[in-house]
Chains A and B, each alone.
Chain A
Amino acid sequence: MKLSDLKISRQLRSKLHNKWMYLCFAVILILAPALLFGLYIKSAPLFEQNGFSEVIFSNEWKPLSGKFGFLSFILSSLWVTILALILSVPVCILTSIYLIYYAKGFVLKIMHPIIDILAGIPSVIYGVWGILMIVPMVSKDIAPFFGYETTGFSILSGAIVLAVMIIPFMLNILIEILRTVPEGLIESSLSLGASKWQTIKFVVVKKALPGIVSSIGLGLSRAFGETIAVLMVVGNVVQNPTNVFDAGYPLPALIANNYGEMMSIPMYDSALMLAALILFVIVLIFNILSRILIRRYEIKVA
């Protein structure tokens, strides 16, 4: 017997549907705060024992003697992520502009599945590709060119692999965003005597800027949390990186490498939870910042 066979009044059924949709919504709403809270509970012992500033701003990492300083990990994460964005954002913006405004229609049609395939490749494959291609290239070609010596397992390798991984992701969003710029607006600018490039530079990019910022924000969150591919090429040495050819040890790599392994050391599980919490909070901060930027811009311009 199906639900619709029951002689339930339409109002009642409507109410029922309302309820379960509301329930789904509530689950999603609760998820993020619950995660945050759980991580906080688990990592609180370390805070209480070592103190907040000691944990965040010290780079002394000696778990055996109870010293957990996260600065090197935070800095490594920031280096890798920001460098990955520097490498990928210009490529994404220019590619999306090219695809929408310059390329023939069929090019975009071909590109769409290619982008989807790139986005769907498991990250471990990017990691292997990084070890086979990028790491040797960095150690043999790029670093010597700038006069540095490195094994190739470095911030730069991590950033390059990461950049390649987030490009399809950001590109997809940017293409959709540029598509929403109304044709009438472009026609207006052109009929005022602007060239195509002027129109793109002064009108299209300006109109799409909030979307561009939020796509960068999303790419950043993804890059910041990416684990496997990065840990395979980044070197995993606990140190404050001084240049891009140094090895680093980002937060996600720390968690993935050690969870379940080092649990006999006191406070270690608390420390890993704290690493997760820091990751969470930094992504949150970036998200909020990009929202604020977008809001400000919208009030000023659009």
Chain B
Amino acid sequence: MENPKIKVQNLNLFIGKQQILKNVNVEIPEKKITIIIGPSGCGKTTLLKSLNRLTDIYEDINVQGNIFINNEDILNTKTDITILRKKMGLLSQRPYPLPMNIYDNIAYGLRISGRKQKKYLDKRVEHYLKQANLWDEVKDRLKSPASALSIGQQQRLCLARGLAVDPEIILADEPTSALDPISSQYIEEKFVQLKEHYTIIMVTHILRQARRIADYVVFMYLGEIIEQGTAEEFFNNPQQEKTKAYLKGLFN
């Protein structure tokens, strides 16, 4: 691949004595949707979290190897971790609205990096809520707590909040697994629009979802990368026996 946005080399990750990721090598193309797929417990989420070094906060996790983002090794150089994380918006399985009102949820990322002028914040909040198709539903109650929103709305709020810090990459960890079909469809459509500007990496175990929106697919099984390639190759012409079995639904 030419100029991958993210390049993972020989990544090994241990939780205590248990090895979760085994010699992972992945390349992720820029401004495409990359889907990481595989059965539960295969290390998809862990791989995703090591990309923005959320693995740092757990003291029993030990990471070895290299992860290059824009050709910069984020594991082994002294990267400013808050700047690194701001390059990546995270959308988790369940939405976790911050314990504050809707407006402050969006403004949070901007405020902590020092943007405090009210006019600027007002504009940004409106812009990103519109981006996430939430503005019309919440514009009259920006000051009410974010936890009062429905779970689908909360997930869109989290998307808006993530976009508001102006990331280059969106990391999504089964972002539709807690949502109803309509909210899920909305998130999928949004991702397809967003890939024009962002590199999107999404973890899922729903094959149909992967078929619908993937440009590039990474298939993981028990901590190893079994196969990776463009969606077309992956779905139409899989090389590995395990991939074929998985695609036929013969797993588990």
Is there contact, CB below 8 Å, between B92 and A187?
Answer: yes
Shortest Cβ gap from B49 to chain A (Å): 8
**The 10 residue pairs across chains A and B that have the minimum distance between CB atoms:** A193-B86, A191-B90, A192-B109, A207-B99, A185-B96, A184-B96, A206-B99, A188-B96, A193-B82, A194-B112
**A184–B92 CB distance below 8 A:** yes
CA distance A288 to B132 in the complex (A): 42
A sample of 20 inter-chain contacts (CB < 8 A) reads A105-B60, A184-B94, A184-B96, A186-B57, A187-B96, A188-B90, A188-B92, A188-B158, A190-B85, A191-B85, A191-B89, A192-B112, A193-B112, A193-B165, A194-B112, A202-B98, A202-B100, A206-B100, A300-B145, A302-B147
The digit string for B43-69, where 1 denotes a CB below 8 A from any CB of A, is: 000000100101001011000000000
A244 within 8 A of B: no
Assess whether A198 is interfacial by the CB under 8 Å rule: yes
- Are A182 and B96 neighbours in the complex by a CB distance under 8 Å? yes
* Cα–Cα, bound, A20→B54 (Å): 51
- Size of the chain B interface, CB-CB below 8 angstroms: 32
CB-CB contacts of A195-224 with B at 8 A, as 1s and 0s? 110100011001100000000000000000
Q: A194 vs B162: C-alpha distance in the bound complex, in angstroms?
A: 12
Q: Bound complex: CA of A182 vs CA of B101, how far in Å? A: 18
Question: How many Å from the CB of A110 to the closest CB on chain B?
Answer: 15
| Interface positions of A (Cβ within 8 A of B) | 104-105, 182, 184-196, 198, 202-203, 206-207, 300-302
* Residues in B whose Cβ lies below 8 Å from that of A104: 59
CB-defined contacts of B147 to chain A, threshold 8 Å = 302
A92 CB, nearest partner CB in chain B, Å: 21
User: A-side binding surface: helix, strand, loop or mixed?
Assistant: helix
Q: How far is the CA of A190 from the CA of B90 in the complex (A)?
A: 10
Rounded to whole Å, the gap between the CB of B60 and the closest CB of chain A is 7
- A203–B98 touching, CB < 8 Å: yes
* B contact residues around A202 at 8 Å (CB): 98, 100, 108, 112
Q: Which residues of B contact A196 (CB under 8 A)?
A: 57
Whole-angstrom CA separation of A105 from B61 in the bound complex: 13
Complex Cα gap A203–B99 (Å): 6
Which of A104, A182, A192 is the most central at the interface, judged by chain B CB atoms within 10 Å of its CB? A192
Contact B83 A193 (CB under 8 A): yes
Chain B residues near A105 (CB, 8 Å)? 59-60
B113-A193 in contact (CB<8A)? yes
Q: Is the CB of B54 within 8 A of A191?
A: yes
B54 touches A187 (CB 8 A): yes
Residues of chain A within 8 A (CB-CB) of B145 are 300-302
Nearest opposing residue in chain A for B164, CB measure: A192
